[in-house]
Structure 1
Amino acid sequence: MTREPRSGCPIASTLDIVGDRWTLVILRDLLNGKSRFSQFLSSPERITTNILTDRLVAMESAGLVTKSPYQARPQRFEYKLTRRGEALLPILQEMCLWANAHIPGTWTPPVSFMARKPE
């Protein structure tokens, strides 16, 4: 499921992995402790199940998350950030700062999220 980058531009190459409407929101949720499908569905953005499934598969393929079963019947999985996924934390923190400074009405992120360092 991995594809060649459309160019050598680092911005375009990064956007090829995380530049859709949902991947960074799922990363945000993972960074804030969510790990199960139902937990992602409870986020205020209301992602649909088919889109969530698609993004989690793509994120696993890109090396951002790993999944492991936590229940056999029906089979259910927990998702965990890899070091590669965790390394996106500073980008999300900077996006929060930018949005708070330039988009009225955006939520102030939790101090615990903003103080967190990549593992």
Structure 2
Amino acid sequence: MKKPGEKVRGSSSGRPVMVLFDVLGQRWTMRILWELRNEELSFRKLRERCDNISPSILNGRLTGLKALQFVERGQSGYRLTDVGKELAQQLISLCEWADRWGQSFQFKER
């Protein structure tokens, strides 16, 4: 995964926000962060929560998220760092906004 200051898809500036959007846009990244938002999970439990994602993909995403300081190893699995928790709070706010926005389309959660 790219870090702030590095070129990413759609942006050569390396601005942190552009790098963040690129990271969050990678398949499974948002789901992993979402599943870790409330609790520490073992690799196996996290994999189950992510619809049995391929172990190699999960391992690669976790490695990248650790390098970006969003995720760390805990005593019994993976958990969000303080920076990761702050990001999760922002994602929760975005989710709440999206729910209000979706109501204008008469979207009903399944």
Residue 43 of structure 1 corresponds to 49
Aligned to 2:89: 90
2:10 equivalent in structure 1: none
Task: Read off the aligned partner of 2:54 and give its amino acid letter.
Answer: T
CA contact (8 A) 1:17 1:62 kept: no
Aligned residues: 100
Aligned CA distance change for structure 1 residues 45 and 99 (closer, same or farther; 3 Å): farther
Contact 1:63-1:85 within 8 A present in 2 as well: yes
Contact 1:100 1:106 in 2 (8 A): no
TM-score, normalised by the number of residues in structure 2: 0.71
2:99 match: 100
Q: Structure 1 stretches of 5 or more lacking a match?
A: 71-77, 108-119
| Cα pair distance change 1:83/1:99, threshold 3 Å | same
Stretch of structure 1 that moved more, 47-56 or 98-107: 98-107
Aligned to 2:6: 5
**Coordinate RMSD, CA, aligned:** 2.5
Aligned residue for 1:100, secondary structure, equals helix
Deviation of residue 87 (structure 1)? 1.1
Instruction: Give the residue type in structure 1 aligned to 2:81.
Output: T
Query: Which residue in 2 is equivalent to 1:111?
Result: none
CA contact (8 A) 2:37 2:85 kept: yes
> 1:60-105 deviations in whole A, cap 9, x for unaligned?
11111111465xxxxxxx1121111111022211232233232734
- Partners of 2:73 and 2:79 within 8 A in 1: yes
1:8-27 equivalent positions in 2, closer than 5 A:
8-27=14-33
Task: For structure 2, list consecutive stretches of 5 or more residues without a partner in the other structure.
Answer: 8-12
Give the TM-score normalised by structure 1: 0.66
More strand by share: 1
Distance (Å, rounded) in 2 between the aligned partners of 1:2 and 1:9: 11
Question: Would you say the 8 A contact 1:66–1:81 is kept in 2?
Answer: yes
Identity over aligned pairs, percent = 29
